Amino acid sequence: MQTIRLEVKEDYLQKVMGLLESLQGVMVDRFELEDKATLSGDPYYYERKAMLEKLAKEVENGEMELLDESMWEVEMKKLEDKITTL
């Protein structure tokens, strides 16, 4: 027997697990999903991931704009000026 270690992208995990299950007893003797201490152990991981995916989609669709450092400084200066005039 040989041991293979796979690192699978989260989106493909179910497909790979299904493939391994279909090979179990034929080509694969046994397999196990390693429970690593990762961000997915964070109780808010999936909520944050969904939020980031939503933001990325909004940026991609032009609904939101990412600012570079100089643009950020200009916007913060405008906000600071607006606050001081209140």
Write the pLDDT tens digit of every residue in 25-73: 888 888 787 766 666 667 777 888 899 999 999 988 989 888 889 999 9
Nearest CA to 3 out of 45, 34, 41 is that of 34
Q: So what's the pLDDT on residue 43?
A: 73
CA distance 1 to 43: 37
Q: Which residue has the tokens 């796979």?
A: 6
The pLDDT assigned to 12 comes to 86
Of 25 and 1, the structure prediction assigns the larger pLDDT to 25
Q: pTM for this one?
A: 0.39
Q: 10 Å Cβ neighbour count for 54?
A: 12
The CA distance from 86 to 82, in Å, is: 7
pLDDT band at 83 (very low <50, low <70, confident <90, very high): very high
Write down the domain spans for the chain. 1-34, 39-86
